[in-house]
Amino acid sequence: MAARIIDGKALAAQVKARVRAGVEECVRQGVQPCLAVLLVGDDPASEVYVRGKAKDCEECGIRSLVERLPADTTQAELLARLAQLAADDSVHGILVQLPLPAQIDERAVIEAIPPQKDVDGFTPVNVGRMMIGEKCFLPCTPAGCLEMLNAAGVDPAGKRAVVIGRSNIVGKPAAMLLLARNATVTICHSRTKDLVSICAGADILVAAVGRPKFVTGDMIKPGAAVIDVGINRDENGKLCGDVDFAAAAEKAGCITPVPGGVGLMTRAMLMVNTLQAARNTL
């Protein structure tokens, strides 16, 4: 294997240690950072994510309020609870775990989160600020991808970056952040023609497709930095990314593993944003 592994576990631990120190300082100044997480229904994957977030908060010294609401919660009930949390000065970050049950309009809920408490970076105000390069809460997954490139010593400036995927939570913002770092960015999606050759020209390849081992060895430029966002199960039920790791690692310069990669950094970036939200109130 030629590629260096970008170790998400070690990096996330460093980030969380920095957050912990920042939280202690914040507490000394009289503010206890607090994250409220709302979970509607009993989706098992969401339950795992929410438990992970509570554990991260505990490690960082952040107070967490996890509220579980029944699956038949109405949109009005959820919005009413969000309004209370929005008005509560002791709560600095608010996160509504997605996906939401069918009776609830996801956009309406996201837009009910005040931008200054939107630690997921999903509200239109934060997305707009990111687009124009203003200070804002960056969405955690793409921010984590950029941190991983940084840790690997990869400066996007002047490089060809290819992002596969154009979702609002990963693909599009990842492309924007790479552009802000002066990469020349191509965004690919399900209608893209010549995907293999476009990817094979990438110095930086970000895969956010949601298909196990979709990125094959022939799509990797020798020496490329490969960031694998995907969280999938392979044919044996084993966790895997969007990249065929073994084949890609033969050619890449550096690569993130799954598990142990972007997922852990995503969680760490949520802690960074929550601390920032609390600091902004000092």
| Residues forming the site for ligand NDP (CB under 6 A) | 141, 164-167, 169-171, 188-192, 195, 208-211, 229-232, 262-263, 266
From the candidates 56, 118, 120, 242, give the one annotated as an active-site residue: 120
Nearest approach in angstroms of CB 136 to ligand NDP is 19
DSSP state of 35: E
The residue (of 50 and 91) whose beta carbon lies closer to ligand NDP is 50
Q: Supply the minimum distance, in Å, between the C-beta of residue 48 and ligand NDP.
A: 12
Q: Toward ligand NDP, which CB reaches closer, 188 or 225?
A: 188
- Per DSSP, the residues of 143-193 read HHHHHHHHHTT---TT-EEEEE---TTTHHHHHHHHHHTT-EEEEE-TT-S
Q: Is 103 among the residues known to form the active site?
A: no
Q: Classify residue 69 as exposed, middle or buried by CB count within 10 Å of its CB (0-12, 13-18, 19+).
A: middle
Q: Are 273 and 60 in contact (CB under 8 A)?
A: no
Residue nearest to ligand NDP (CB): 167
Q: Which is nearer to ligand NDP, 165 or 253 (CB)?
A: 165
Distance (Å) of CA 71 to CA 41, 50, 80, 99: 4, 16, 16, 12
Return the residue matching tokens 């924007």.
Answer: 176
Whole-angstrom distance, CA of residue 252 vs CA of residue 229: 16
**Closest separation between CB of residue 189 and ligand NDP, Å?**
3
Q: Report the DSSP pairing between strands 63-69 and 225-228.
A: unpaired
* Minimum distance of ligand NDP from residue 240's CB (angstroms): 10
Pairing of strands 239-240, 232-233: antiparallel
User: Is 42 a residue of the active site?
Assistant: no
Q: How far is the CB of 224 from ligand NDP (least distance, A)?
A: 18
Contacts of 260 (CB under 8 A, 6+ apart): 7, 8, 9
Q: Which is nearer to ligand NDP, 123 or 141 (CB)?
A: 141
Nearer to ligand NDP, 136 or 262 (CB): 262
Q: Give the whole-angstrom CA distance, residue 64 versus residue 278.
A: 13
User: Has 75 been annotated as catalytic?
Assistant: no
97, 159, 172, 228: which one is catalytic?
Answer: 97
Nearest-angstrom CA–CA distance, 86 and 92 = 9
Positions marked active-site: 53, 97, 120
